[in-house]
Amino acid sequence: MGFLNDIEPLKQTALTEFKNAADLAALEQTKGAWIGPNGKFTALMKQLGTLSKEEKPAAGKLINAAKVELEAALGACREALELKAALPKEPTDFTAPGRRRTLGKLHPLTQVTDDIVRAFRKIGFAVADGPEIEDEYHCFDALNTPADHPARDSQDTFYIATNAGAVSPSPGEAATAAMAGEGGRSSLLRTHTSSVQIRVMEKQPPPVRIIVPGRVYRRDNADATHNPTFHQIEGLYVDKNVTVGDLKGTVEFVFRELMGSDVKIRFRPHYFSYTEPSYEIDFTNALVKKMGKDWLEIAGCGMVHPQVFETVGYDPAVWTGWAFGFGIERIAMLRYGINDIRLFYENDVRFLKQF
Ligand code: DAH
């Protein structure tokens, strides 16, 4: 029975060693040394067999209680060590300054668009929107540009397959189909924001006073001044007794808001199938002069063609109006002195953060 007196001191030593284990690996090793198959405490339990039948129950109870205590202590030590392992090795300095996140900026094209919209809002224009995947009817036919019209050649675009396996007709085939009376309803990427004029007039009765900023597409090769995707702002004003004077005054107002009070604009006769008369707008200011130029072509415009009014169901004997469309990239390039349009689309932060 002598070994029973060893239980208490052995247990105390084991508890101390458990507590002193520096990490989880050390603890596992200590566990093995005591209650593993060849552990010191296990050896003690094996001696139980040497006791008489009468002595066994009391001795067994004693040993079991010690074992339970050791296992509980082991669990507690393990939990404490696990927590310690999860904590950062380096102490945290709560007084250190926080990590700053630099603020992003609006893209220069967005900034210019916002400024144009702001200028038009001042004089009562609302912003309208339309789909970039447009049908031929809204992009061309309704704008008095039927399928066989030569003006379509300068705005070739990307046609979209409308059902699986079937490729949309090329412009030429579409022209043939439309002339044969099959209607021009195939889908394409809109070549200008002018299509939204039609969509708005189809939905609301006159008067109309809208601008339409948006993305447009052409089958163009990219170079310093062209990109197959670019942005336009369309304007449409329909009311009674609207004149070219209103158009010129409005364009002048907006460009002065945008580019400064030294801006001069000039209207040059031009041709668009949806306006009559039609003009191109030339623009000049100190910046243009600095570029060694007298004028810079900036937009197309004119008085809405009576045929367009007929098409959307406005009475051309009652209603008059003007429309214009200009390229946002052009204005942004002029404003910021950017000489390559492709810079806008590369998303290089070193370029973008300058504006
Ligand atoms: N849609 C023309 C273009 O993309 C620009 C334009 C010209 C728009 C005359 C108009 C307009 O509304 O009246 O080149």
Query: What confidence tens digit (pLDDT) does each residue in 336-352 have?
Result: 999 999 999 999 999 99
Q: Is the CB of 192 under 6 A from ligand 1?
A: yes
Question: What's the pLDDT score for residue 163?
Answer: 53
Query: What is the CB neighbour count within 10 angstroms for residue 163?
Result: 7
| pLDDT tens-digit series, residues 65-87 | 888 999 999 999 999 999 988 88
Share above pLDDT 90 across residues of the chain, in percent, rounded to a whole number: 62
Residue 317: pLDDT over 50: yes
DSSP string, 238-252: EETT--HHHHHHHHH
**311 and 198 Cβ atoms separated by less than 8 Å:** yes
Q: Is the CB of 267 under 6 A from ligand 1?
A: no
* Summary mean pLDDT of the chain: 89
Q: Which residue has the higher pLDDT, 172 or 13?
A: 13
Q: How much is the average pLDDT of 278-304?
A: 93
Residue type, 270: H
Q: Is the CB of 273 under 6 A from ligand 1?
A: no
Domain ranges of the chain: 2-86, 108-130+193-352
Query: Which residue's CA is the nearest one to ligand 1's atom 14?
Result: 300
Residue 181: pLDDT over 50: no
Question: What's the pLDDT score for residue 130?
Answer: 97
- Measured in Å, residue 270 CA sits from the centre of ligand 1 at 11
**114 and 211 Cβ atoms separated by less than 8 Å:** no
Q: How far is CA 323 from CA 161, 170, 212, 237, in A?
A: 31, 29, 11, 6
User: Among 38-52, 100-114, 251-265, 282-296, which stretch is predicted with the lowest mean pLDDT?
Assistant: 38-52
Query: Which residue's CA is the nearest one to ligand 1's atom 8?
Result: 325
CA–CA separation, 139 and 133 (whole Å): 10
**Nearest-atom index, ligand 1, CA of 299:** 5
Query: Which residue's CA is the nearest one to ligand 1's atom 9?
Result: 301
Q: Is the CB of 193 under 6 A from ligand 1?
A: no
- Measured in Å, residue 145 CA sits from the centre of ligand 1 at 12
Q: Is the CB of 301 under 6 A from ligand 1?
A: yes
Query: Which residue's CA is the nearest one to ligand 1's atom 5?
Result: 325
Question: What's the pLDDT score for residue 345?
Answer: 96
pLDDT band at residue 160 using 50, 70 and 90 as cut-offs: confident
What fold does the segment set 108-130+193-352 form as a domain?
BirA Bifunctional Protein; domain 2 (3.30.930)
Q: How much is the average pLDDT of 135-146?
A: 95
Q: How much is the average pLDDT of 302-307?
A: 98
pLDDT band at residue 179 using 50, 70 and 90 as cut-offs: very low
**329 and 344 Cβ atoms separated by less than 8 Å:** yes
Q: How much is the average pLDDT of 250-259?
A: 93
Alpha carbon 88 to its chain's center: 37
- 10 Å CB burial of residue 193 (0-12, 13-18, 19+) is buried
Q: Is the CB of 214 under 6 A from ligand 1?
A: no
- Measured in Å, residue 51 CA sits from the centre of ligand 1 at 109
Q: How much is the average pLDDT of 154-171?
A: 65
Q: How far is CA 191 from CA 26, 135, 260, in A?
A: 74, 11, 30
- Measured in Å, residue 152 CA sits from the centre of ligand 1 at 13
Name the residue of 192, 230, 270 to mutate for ligand 1: max ligand atoms within 8 A of Cβ: 192
- Measured in Å, residue 194 CA sits from the centre of ligand 1 at 6
Q: How much is the average pLDDT of 41-50?
A: 83
Name the residue of 199, 208, 274, 326 to mutate for ligand 1: max ligand atoms within 8 A of Cβ: 274
Share above pLDDT 70 across residues of the chain, in percent, rounded to a whole number: 93
Residue 176: pLDDT over 60: no
Question: What's the pLDDT score for residue 123?
Answer: 96
- Residue 170, token pair as written in the block: 């090329």
Name the residue of 145, 149, 190, 194 to mutate for ligand 1: max ligand atoms within 8 A of Cβ: 194
pLDDT band at residue 40 using 50, 70 and 90 as cut-offs: confident
| pLDDT tens-digit series, residues 184-231 | 578 999 999 999 999 999 999 999 999 999 999 999 899 999 999 999
- Measured in Å, residue 28 CA sits from the centre of ligand 1 at 81
Query: Which residue's CA is the nearest one to ligand 1's atom 2?
Result: 325
Nearest to 227 by CA among 216, 235, 211: 216
Residue 328: pLDDT over 60: yes
Question: What's the pLDDT score for residue 54?
Answer: 86
**318 and 238 Cβ atoms separated by less than 8 Å:** no
Query: Which residue's CA is the nearest one to ligand 1's atom 12?
Result: 324
Q: How much is the average pLDDT of 100-116?
A: 93
- Measured in Å, residue 247 CA sits from the centre of ligand 1 at 14
User: What pTM was computed for the model?
Assistant: 0.69
Most confident of 12-16, 122-126, 152-156, 224-228: 122-126
